[in-house]
Amino acid sequence: MVILAAILGAISITSGFIMDYYWFGSVGYLQVFMINIRYQLALLFIGWGITTICLLLILRTVRKSFSEEISGFGETFFKIISVFIGFGIGWWFKGAYLPVLKFLNQASWGVTDPVFNQDISFYVFTLPFLRTILTFIAVVSGIVLVLSFLTYGIGRSQYEARKEEMDISSEGSFWRVSQFLKSWPVRGSIITLTIVGAIFTLLGRYSHLWKFYPGASVPTGASYMAVNYLIPYTWVRVFGVLLFGYLIFHIFSNADKIRESIEFEDFGALRREAIIFVVIILIFLIIPGGVFGAINTLNVQPNEPGIQQPYIERCIDMTNQAYNLQNITETVYPTPENDLTSEEAWRSPTVRNARIVDYRPVKQTYQEKQRLRTYYEFHDVDVDRYSTGEEKQLVVISGREMSKLGGGWQNQHLYYTHGYGAVVSPASRTAPDGSPILEIRDIPPTDWGDISIKDEPRIYFGERTNSYAIVKANGLDEFDYPKGENNVSYRYEYDSGISIGNAWKKLVSWFYTGDFNILVSNYVGQDSKLLLHRNIHDRVAKIAPFLRFDPNGHLFITNNRLTYLLNGITQTERYPYSYSDGEAPGYLSDSVKAFVKANTGEVEFYITEEGDPMVETFSNIYPGLFKDGDDLPTGYREHLIYPQSLFNVQMKIFRRYHMKNYVPFYQREDIWTLAEEKYHGVSKRVEPYNILLDVTDRPGFEPNSEEFTLVQPFTPEDKRNMIAWLGVGQDPGNYGKIIAIKFPKGELFRGPMQVEAITDQDTEISQQFSLWEGAGSKVLRGNLLVLPVEDDILYIEPLYLSAETVAYPQLKRIVVVYRDTAVMENSLRNSVAMVLGEEITPGPTPGDNMAPPELVQVVQRYIELREEYQRLYNRGEYAAAGEIQEQIADLVENMRRLLGS
C-alpha cells in the first residue's frame, strides 16, 4: 500500500507536466514544450548542483568550528538540508529560462542609444541575462553566509550550555566568534557579495535610460543631470560599494581588536574605520542629495528648457520609434469652401456604411432573439467587414457559445460540449422595428449570399468555453442543437484532442482534472479524446506566453467555417528614452496574428511585422512556431483587425508626442485628450470605432474607396472643439498605416460633446426626448461617429429606446449633425438628406407597425397555430395536427385577401 500510495503521489505531482507533454503534442507544438523543458531542467540542475555543493563545502568549516564534535545525525541533517535548499534555489532559477533563451538567440536591433552607444538588444536581452546570473550568485552567497552563521550560532549556544553544566572555563578547541568570522564561508561570501553589488551598481547606470516620469515637463530619467553628473558618478558609487564591502571584511577580520578598542574606549584606534564610514555617507547621501541638488536648482532648472533640448528630443524620437508612431502621415484638414450636398455625402461609402447598429446594445438583442436555449450565450460582439455583392459593408457578428453549467458530469463534459453557429447583422441598417437585421441566424444557421457557416458551425473552442470536454465517448453522442421537441445528436469527426483510451492516460487525466469519473466511467472508451484549454485566450497563451495578446478575440467567417483571430503583441521594457507606464512597458509591436479554428482548436501563428527584433528572437528560439506573413491565407488577411488595446496605448502616447518641437513639448501647450461623448446618458471617452473610409486620395494610404479603418477623435486638453482625428488602416495594402488629420487651430471644428450640445439644444429633438421619457422609455445614445466626407465633417449618432415592455433597446432615430444643424429622422438616408438641405417625404419610423390591424391579428394567429402544429406533430398526435393544418390553410387565404392578391 505504501508503494502504491507513493506511485500515485508521484503521478499526481507530475500530472501537470505529463498532460502538458501530451497536449503540446496534440496541437503540433511539442518542440516549443521540449525547448522550454530542456532549458528549465538545465537551469534547475545547475542551480541545484551549485547551491548544494557550496553548502556542502561549508560542512568542513562547520566541523572544524565544532572541534570535530558534530554528531553523525547532525552531519546527515545538514547534508539533507543542503540538498533541499539547493533544490529550492534550482527550482527558482529554472524560472529564468526565458531571459537565458533570449540572450542566446538574440537578434540585433540595429539601433543604438545616444548615451552609451549600445545596441538596444544589449538592454533588452543581454542586461536581463547578466542580472539573472548576478542575482543567482548573490542569492547563493547570501544563503552560504546565513547558513554559516545559523549553524555556528546553534553550535555555539549548545557548547555554552554544556560549558555551564560541566563548569568548564576554557574555550577548548571550539572556535571563538572572531575566529569564525575569518573562515572562508564568511569571508568568501562577503567578497562575492561586494563584487556582485559593485557590478549591479555599475549596471545600474543604464537604468537612467528607461526611468520615466510620464507627466513631467522633462519625462526622461536620462536628462541633463543624469547624463552629465549621475551617470559619471556611478563609478564613485561603485567605489563606495567596494569601500563598504572592505569595511565589513575589515571588521570581521579584526573583530577582537575592534571589540577591545570599544571596550577600553580607545576610539582613536578606530580612526580608519570612522573615516571609511564617513566617506561612504558622503558618497551615498551628502553628494547626491546636497551637491547634485544644488546643481539642479542653481544651474539646470533656471536654464530649462534650452539645457534639456537634446534629451527631450531624444525622448520624443525614441518613444515614437518604440511604439511605431514615427511614420504617421500627418495632414491638415482643408477648410471646406462649399457646403456638402446630399448627393456627395451619400456617394461616400463612409456615410452609407455608418455603423448605426451599436455593438453594445445589439448583444442584448442577440441574447433575447437568438439565444434560443438557456444553455447558449453570446459572449461578445465583433465589428468586421464583408463583401456582399458588389460592395463591402460593415457587419456585427457574435458566436453562439455553450455555457451549460451543472447538470452532472456527463452533461457538462460529455453531452453539452459545443456551441452552434453565429449571428451576423449589417451595421448600417436595421429592421422596421429598429432591431438588427439577422442575416445569418437560427439553428441550423442561414446563409447570407456567399457567406455561410453550414459546413462547420460548431464552436468547441471559444471565449466562454472554459471547461474540458471528452468527445467520441463510448455509447454516447453529443448534443448538437435543439430541433422542436427533440435534439439532434453529433459525434466529433476530427482528430483533435488527447487520446485517453488506455488506463495510463485515464489515470493521469484523473489527477490532472480532479475528476475521478474519467477513470471509472464506461463512457470513456478506446476512441475517446480529451479537449483541454478550450478557451482561445488560454490556448494561445499556453503556447506563446511571451506574447501580449489583445483581450478581444475576433470571430470571423472564412471558407464556410468560424475562426478566431487573436492579436499577438511583442513587448519589452528597457527601451532607452521611451515612454513607459503601467500599460506601456517601453516597446510594443503588432507583430503576430494567432488564428484558432472554432471546431478543431487548431492554432496557427503568423508574423505580420517583419523586422521586429523581438519576434525574430522568438523565431530563433522556437523554429517552426511562426509562419511567414507572406503565407497568410487570403481568407485570413481579409479579416485582419488592428489590436485595439495597442491602438489605445498609442493614442494615449501620441496625444503629447505628436509635438516634435521640444519647447511646446516642455511647456505642454498642445496636449490633446481623447474626445468625450454622451453614451447611454453618461459622458465618457469615445472608444475607437471602425468605419469604411474612402482613402482614394488620402496621403499615407494606398488608394482604397472602402478602407476598414479604426479611428479615434481628439480634442485639446480642457476644451471641447476637435483638434485631430487619427485612423489606422486594416485592409491588405494599408494594414497598420496610421494617418493623423489635424484641424486648423484658427477655425472651429466641433468635437463630439459640442455636437451633443447642438442636439440637446434643438427644440424638436429635445421635445421628442421629453415625450419618450415621459412615456416611461429611456433614451440611449449610441456611439457618436465623426466622419470625414469630401473635405467636410458629418456627425452621426443612433438613438435607442429602452422600454419596460421590450427586453432589449431598439433603434428609433438617427441624429445627423452638420455644422450647427441637427436633424433627427427615422433612417440614416433621410437624416443625411435633411441635414444637407434636401426635401424628403417622411417614411415610417423604425418600430412603428404600418400594417392594417386586421392583418396583424391574422399573422399573429397564424404564428400561434404554426407553433401548435409543430408541437403536436413532434409528439406524434397527427390527427390533431391535421386539424390545425386546416385552420392554417384558412388563415393563409385570409392573408391573401387582406393583401389584395
The pLDDT tens digits of the residues spanning 263-286 come to: 777 777 788 888 999 999 999 999
| Rg over CA atoms, the chain | 36
Task: Using pLDDT thresholds of 50, 70 and 90, give the confidence band for residue 451.
Answer: very high
Letter for the amino acid at 738?
I
Using CA atoms, how far residue 297 sits from 222, 238, 614, in Å, is 17, 26, 41
As a whole number of angstroms, the distance between CA 441 and CA 399 comes to: 10
- Cell numbers representing residue 388 in the block: 456582399
Question: Quick check: 901 pLDDT over 50?
Answer: no
Q: What is the pLDDT, as a whole number, of residue 809?
A: 85
As a whole number of angstroms, the distance between CA 701 and CA 698 comes to: 6
Q: Which of 57-71, 136-150, 545-559 has the highest mean pLDDT?
A: 545-559
Question: Quick check: 383 pLDDT over 90?
Answer: yes
Q: Calculate what percentage of the chain has a pLDDT beyond 70.
A: 90
> Which of 570, 568, 631, 560 minimizes the C-alpha distance to 597?
560
Burial class (CB in 10 A: 0-12, 13-18, 19+), 399: buried
Q: What is the pLDDT, as a whole number, of residue 70?
A: 60
- Is 172 within 8 Å of 183 (Cβ atoms)? no
Over the stretch 493-521, which tens digit does the pLDDT of each residue have?
Answer: 999 999 999 999 999 999 999 999 999 99
For the chain, the first-to-last Cα distance in angstroms comes to: 86
- Is 501 within 8 Å of 525 (Cβ atoms)? yes
Over the stretch 809-828, which tens digit does the pLDDT of each residue have?
Answer: 889 999 999 999 999 999 99
Q: What is the pLDDT, as a whole number, of residue 92?
A: 96
- Is 212 within 8 Å of 657 (Cβ atoms)? no
Question: Quick check: 154 pLDDT over 80?
Answer: no
Q: What is the pLDDT, as a whole number, of residue 896?
A: 63
HSE of 341, CA atoms in CB hemisphere, 13 A: 4
pLDDT greater at residue 156 or residue 388: 388
Q: Which helix (H) or strand (E) holds 856?
A: helix 853-874
At 568, phi and psi to the nearest 5? -95, 120
Burial class (CB in 10 A: 0-12, 13-18, 19+), 502: exposed
Q: What is the mean pLDDT of residues 246-253?
A: 88
Using CA atoms, how far residue 154 sits from 5, 159, 174, in Å, is 37, 9, 13
Q: Calculate what percentage of the chain has a pLDDT beyond 90.
A: 67
As a whole number of angstroms, the distance between CA 869 and CA 575 comes to: 70
> Which of 441, 422, 420 minimizes the C-alpha distance to 431?
441
Q: What angle separates helix 613-621 from helix 97-104, to the nearest 10 degrees?
A: 100
pLDDT greater at residue 81 or residue 567: 567
Q: What is the mean pLDDT of residues 19-25?
A: 96
- Is 399 within 8 Å of 419 (Cβ atoms)? yes
Beta bridge pairs of residue 689: 711
pTM summary value: 0.89
Using CA atoms, how far residue 783 sits from 13, 88, 679, in Å, is 52, 54, 6
Task: Using pLDDT thresholds of 50, 70 and 90, give the confidence band for residue 199.
Answer: very high
Question: Quick check: 639 pLDDT over 70?
Answer: yes
Average pLDDT across the chain, whole number: 89
Q: What is the mean pLDDT of residues 868-872?
A: 70
3-state class of 110 per DSSP?
Answer: coil
Letter for the amino acid at 861?
R
Do the bridges between strand 458-459 and strand 419-420 make them parallel or antiparallel, or are there none, so unpaired?
A: antiparallel
Q: Give exposure, 327-347, as e/b (b: 16+ Cβ within 10 Å).
A: ebeeeebeeeeeebebebbbe
Domain boundaries, the chain: 15-164, 184-301, 353-544, 545-641, 749-836, 853-899
As a whole number of angstroms, the distance between CA 582 and CA 216 comes to: 16
> Which of 221, 218, 398 minimizes the C-alpha distance to 303?
218
Letter for the amino acid at 503?
A
Q: What is the pLDDT, as a whole number, of residue 844?
A: 56
Burial class (CB in 10 A: 0-12, 13-18, 19+), 475: exposed
Q: What is the pLDDT, as a whole number, of residue 71?
A: 58
Beta bridge pairs of residue 684: 677
Q: What is the pLDDT, as a whole number, of residue 720?
A: 93
> Which residue is it, cell 427533440?
486
Beta bridge pairs of residue 563: 597
pLDDT greater at residue 773 or residue 352: 352
